[in-house]
DNA sequence: AGAACGATCGACT
DNA sequence: GTCGATCGTTCTA
């Protein structure tokens, strides 16, 4: 059990996307700890993936972060109003990342709910759809382009193996889980890459 | 300078 | 299931 180090990210992006499932994302915000368990990810690989912002090693102001060392946070604005959080992977110079699509709340739930819903009551519907999308996760963790380029081996935003690593009780033993792979969301424009089964989620066994 | 588009979400039918 | 919001990024000229 430990915080994930740079070597964890410096590998094949598909392997990283699968290995990140079940890990705990920690966000330190104004002295408070917000945390969630990773349950859904997607891989994006510049070398060969037309859905990746850095496809064909395309280098622009935005994609510059994808060329940063592995273990860097790549955060960008999408549709003019939402942000997406990614973890840069592969050896430095290979632009690639894992998109964080969904979390289960672990710590700081009240603050995350306030960031996401304000003072609106937390209905069953809102609870069910709390952190099940990349824009929702960034809203709940107060992550914007201001946090783009953050070093994930630092203290502001990082991943670790389990709740023990941030002084919390271990997760209760629950039913066995397995990884489901499927096509990515929202990349219909990406020609052959639209069908790559590079979305991974954690699900309960039947 | 201008136009097209998007790794989403929530409201609505 | 459909649709509009909303604006930075990217490309074209």
Q: What is the pLDDT of residues A184-200, one digit of tens each?
A: 999 999 999 999 999 99
User: What radius of gyration do chain A's Cα atoms show?
Assistant: 16
Each residue's pLDDT tens digit, A45-78: 999 999 999 999 999 999 999 999 999 999 999 9
Point out the residue nearest to B9 (C-alpha to C1'). A135
- The CA distances from residue A142 to A85, A86, A96, in Å, are 11, 14, 23
Could you tell me where the DSSP H helices lie in A35-188?
Answer: 109-117, 124-128, 134-140
Smallest Cα–Cα separation from A99: which of A49, A55, A40, A145?
A: A40
pLDDT at A6 over 90: yes
pLDDT for A206 equals 75
pLDDT for A175 equals 87
**A106, A24 contact by CB (below 8 A):** yes
| Cβ within 8 Å of residue A138, ≥6 positions away | A75, A82, A83, A84, A85, A144
User: At residue A63, what are phi and psi to the nearest 5 degrees?
Assistant: -75, -5
Decide: CB of A74 under 7 A of nucleic strand C.
no
Each residue's pLDDT tens digit, A110-145: 999 999 999 999 999 999 999 999 999 999 999 999
Mean pLDDT of A68-90: 98
pLDDT for A174 equals 83
pLDDT for A110 equals 97
pLDDT for A82 equals 98
Q: Among all strands, which nt has the closest C1' to A77 (CA)?
A: C8
Q: Among all strands, which nt has the closest C1' to A188 (CA)?
A: B7
CA of A80 to C1' of C5 (A): 9
Tokens of A34: 């917000």
User: At residue A40, what are phi and psi to the nearest 5 degrees?
Assistant: -155, 135
pTM of the entire predicted model:
0.97
Mean pLDDT of A5-10: 98
pLDDT for A118 equals 95
pLDDT for A187 equals 97
CA of A90 to C1' of C13 (A): 37
Q: How confident is the model at residue A205 (pLDDT cuts 50, 70, 90)?
A: confident
CA of A42 to C1' of B9 (A): 18
Instruction: Tell me how far apart the alpha carbons of residues A206 and A168 are, in angstroms, rounded to a whole number.
Output: 29
pLDDT at A91 over 80: yes
pLDDT for A1 equals 74
């Amino acid at each position: 059990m430990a915080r994930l180090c740079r070597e964890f990210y410096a590998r094949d992006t598909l392997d990283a996307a699968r290995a990140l499932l079940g890990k705990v994302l920690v966000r330190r915000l104004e002295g408070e700890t917000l945390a969630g368990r990773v349950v859904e990810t997607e891989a994006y690989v510049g070398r060969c993936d037309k859905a990746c912002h850095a496809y064909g090693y395309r280098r622009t102001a935005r994609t510059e972060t994808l060329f940063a060392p592995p273990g860097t946070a790549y955060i960008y604005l999408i549709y003019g109003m939402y942000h997406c959080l990614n973890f840069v992977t592969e050896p430095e110079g290979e632009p690639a990342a894992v998109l964080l699509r969904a979390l289960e709340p672990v710590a700081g739930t009240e603050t995350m709910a306030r960031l996401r819903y304000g003072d609106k009551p937390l209905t069953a519907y809102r609870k069910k759809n709390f952190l099940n999308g990349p824009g929702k996760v960034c809203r709940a963790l107060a992550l914007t382009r201001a946090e783009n380029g953050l070093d994930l081996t630092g203290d502001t935003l990082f991943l670790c193996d389990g709740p023990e690593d941030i002084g919390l009780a271990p997760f209760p033993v629950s039913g066995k889980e397995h990884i489901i792979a499927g096509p990515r969301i929202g990349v219909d424009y990406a020609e052959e890459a639209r069908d790559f089964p590079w979305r991974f989620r954690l699900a309960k066994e039947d």
